[in-house]
Amino acid sequence: QMTSITLFVSLLGFLFSTSQAFSSYHLTSPRMNSPGEVTEHPFCNLPGDPSLILTTNVDLGDKKMEIMKACSKAIAKHTGKPESYIAVSITDNAAVIFGGTDAPTALGCLYSIGSIAQETNGFIQNDVTDLLEPYGVAEDRIYINFFDVPRANVGW
């Protein structure tokens, strides 16, 4: 029985070291510094990273796409990731309550491989809040959760 435990522990060690090497390989990318050449973000080069999923109970009408594009630009600005990698999904007119009331509100989740930091999350929160304020969503009625997702947990 001691042999099977030793074998199991060795296998776990091997799998962990292999996954670390795999993750390191995919998380690092060459950075080109030639003038005019776009450099890749040091944490990820996947489309859809970061991703903002926002749900609100207000009607954004024909301005919805404009708001989504503005959210995308704000995320790129504050995360340092190229806008071409960013995905934004907004569901408006949803059944949402916050604090026991259905007054205008919004709930969101921002997922990213790296680039989630207390120093920048507030800027993203403020920009999204400013975009929804004209629709009656007060700054104390919007909540965004920020998730720094390990590379191994993102499929593409």
Q: Going by DSSP bridges, is the β-strand pair 106-112/87-91 parallel, antiparallel, or unpaired?
A: unpaired
Neighbours of 19 (CB within 10 A): 11
Residue 53's nearest CA partner among 41, 68, 38 is 68
Of the residues 30, 35, 47, 50, which is catalytic?
50
- The answer to whether residues 131 and 50 touch, using CB atoms and an 8 Å cutoff, is no
Please, what sign has the CA dihedral across residues 15, 21, 22, 23?
Answer: positive
Please, what sign has the CA dihedral across residues 19, 146, 117, 65?
Answer: positive
Residue 134: active-site member = no
Q: Which residues are catalytic?
A: 50
